[in-house]
Amino acid sequence: MSDRAWDRAIQALAALAVDPGALGGIVLRARVGPVRALIEAALPRLPGPQTRIHPTIDDSALFGGLNVAASLAEGRAVHDPGLAATPARLILPMAERVNGALAARLGQMLDAGTGHSLILFDEGAEPEETVSAALMERLAFFVDLNAVAIGTAQRALPAPGDLDAARALLPTVAVPDEALALMTALAAQFSIASLRAPRFAWAAARAFAALAGRRLVEEADITAAAELVYAHRATQIPEEAPPPEPPQEDDPGAEAPEAGDDDAHQDLFEEQLIEAVRALLPPDLLERLAHGRLTTNARGSGAGDVRRGNRRGRPLPSRPGRLDGRARIDVVATLRAAAPWQKIRRRARDTKARLILYPSDIRLKRFEKKSDRLLVFAVDASGSAAAARLNEAKGAVEMLLAQAYARRDHVAVIGFRGQGAELLLPPTRSLVQAKRRLSALPGGGGTPLAAGLHASLHLADQARGRGLSPALVLLTDGRANVALSGDGGRPAARADAEAIAAGIRAQGLMALVIDTAIRPGEASATLAANLGGQYFALPRADSDAISRAITAALE
């Protein structure tokens, strides 16, 4: 299926080059790699201008507006046109990080019908990390290239001359009425509620016919369009049609009317269409439907959510900068920077203007944003000393919670034992809830250190999405003996723990390792080095000592 995915991507890009305004664009789910590089290298061959944008592009770059710096320099209003003024193909990497505001702006640009098209690269690591549903609704195609091997990516885009010929032929291509009715009925069978889907299928079929040099859409064009437009939009699997009943022996041998042959052929083609689309449906469609995780229902902000609940912090000194529609001008600092040059500027311009500002005078306001901090306690609950460790962790958490209001810290506790890890206390500042959750913690079993680190990293990623600054506090003796898969064995367990620790370090997560072993060894010190964090050897630590060590390290 990987070579077919590549062929579908090339088909979709060719159709998009022929009729960009009607098809809107394509989402290519592909991480950075050789296959992605082949696609990006082929895009300049498509006709028309193209521009690469980024997930943090501002409104002034998209729609234009007053250029304050140029207006101040020239003494008149200077307006920038923006990307929306000229039809172009916009290429957007990391599309899963596009927030709702930018998705709405791009959707507005497509709805305006100005001839723009979008090529979005979805680099999400998880199925839930995907492009905004509102934006995907306005794009005809979606192709997943993550399973494509570089050796199977053989098909190339049509030559520029062939694409130009198809664009010239497109206005004369006709679609039979029964084909449009069939595409609409097919969308209904897959429970696709949006009316954009049949319109996209109609436009794609016309584009495929034009690419083949035909003036009339044929069955092959309809099949290709249905596969590319309907497969990722389906929300149900159609029931298989019952087998036809055998003819009755006592039926008269009269021949059926000629129209019956056409109807039979139409029914057969409809069944073939259903099977073609069904073959491309995700294998876990029913499971994803049950859990509400369809691509079309996924949240669009993904890993790029704007932080919420942050404090503004103290203002920092202003600095020179370029206005981008988001920054605020520090008026006093700007005037202070321009004041010493006024006599020279009036003399150079031979003017009596009281104030002459240049773009270099502009000073922008800055603020130091401080996020609330989350302390993630990952507690080793294995072995005979588990009860003592958990009791000390409980005391330390309660002491930190008592100070949480003043320092605005949240606290969470993850316990790992046996074959996995468990979130014992979700992020909270409630002392009452903490005491209730920590009143009876289980202990004993193996030491799944990798599972504890993995759970901590997952919780830290969630905390960052909510605007918190996570820090990891790990209480363990470092002697892992259960791998991430749940299998026993010290070498595999140690390798898994080191790999996840390296990932935590790569993400810049602050970490502290508190060695709770009676005789501190190299295991915890090595773990702290892999995490890039601080190491404390507290074999007989009580809750007060742990709290003091953590407070000193975080201040």
Of the candidates 106, 105, 101, 103, the residue with the CA atom closest to the CA atom of residue 89: 106
Q: Helix 219-230 crosses helix 177-189 at what angle (to 10 degrees)?
A: 30
Residue 45 tokens read as: 């061959």
Average pLDDT over residues 349-370: 79
User: What does the alpha-carbon distance between residue 537 and residue 158 come to, in Å, rounded to a whole number?
Assistant: 66
Helix (H) or strand (E) holding 422: strand 420-428
Residue 18: half-sphere exposure toward Cβ, Cα within 13 Å: 31
Task: Give residue 48's pLDDT.
Answer: 86
CB < 8 Å & 24+ apart, contacts of 264-272: 266/178, 266/182, 269/182, 269/219, 270/182, 270/185, 270/186, 271/241, 272/223
Question: Amino acid letter at 454?
Answer: H
Q: How far is CA 255 from CA 17, 166, 258, 259, 449, in A?
A: 48, 44, 9, 11, 76
How many residues are there in the chain? 555
**pLDDT digits 0-9 by tens, 406-459:** 566 788 888 888 888 888 888 887 767 666 766 666 667 788 888 889 999 889
Task: Give residue 18's pLDDT.
Answer: 92
* Model confidence at 63: pLDDT above 50: yes
**pLDDT digits 0-9 by tens, 278-304:** 666 665 554 554 444 444 433 333 333
Q: Helix 490-506 crosses helix 449-465 at what angle (to 10 degrees)?
A: 20
Average pLDDT over the chain reads 77
Q: Coil, strand, or helix at residue 15?
A: helix
pLDDT bin (cut points 50, 70, 90) of residue 151 is: confident
**Radius of gyration of the CA atoms of the chain, in A:** 31
User: What does the alpha-carbon distance between residue 336 and residue 140 come to, in Å, rounded to a whole number?
Assistant: 53
Asked if 285 and 234 touch (Cβ cutoff 8 Å), the reply is: yes
Average pLDDT over residues 291-318: 46
User: What does the alpha-carbon distance between residue 211 and residue 241 come to, in Å, rounded to a whole number?
Assistant: 33
Q: How far is CA 549 from CA 415, 457, 536, in A?
A: 20, 22, 8
Task: Give residue 309's pLDDT.
Answer: 38
Please tell me the pTM assigned to this model: 0.55
Task: Give residue 506's pLDDT.
Answer: 82
